[in-house]
Amino acid sequence: MKVFILLITSVSLIALSSCNTVSGFGADLKKLGDGIGNAAGH
């Protein structure tokens, strides 16, 4: 469980640091959500 939380935190920090605008932030969140959904097998 700790590894999963660490992974999510790392990905979130990378996504937040890579976007420059609010729309970029929304796109990064969508990509993050899609990645989590794919990892869960949905």
Higher pLDDT, 29 or 24: 29
SS3 percent helix, strand, coil of the chain, rounded to 5, is 85, 0, 15
Q: What is the pTM of this model?
A: 0.40
Q: Distances in Å between the alpha carbon of 34 and those of 18, 40, 41?
A: 17, 10, 11
pLDDT band at 33 (very low <50, low <70, confident <90, very high): confident
* CA distance linking residue 23 with residue 40, whole number of Å: 26
* Contact criterion met (CB below 8 Å) for 28 and 19: yes
Higher pLDDT, 8 or 25: 8
Residue 24: CB partners within 8 Å, gap ≥ 6? 18
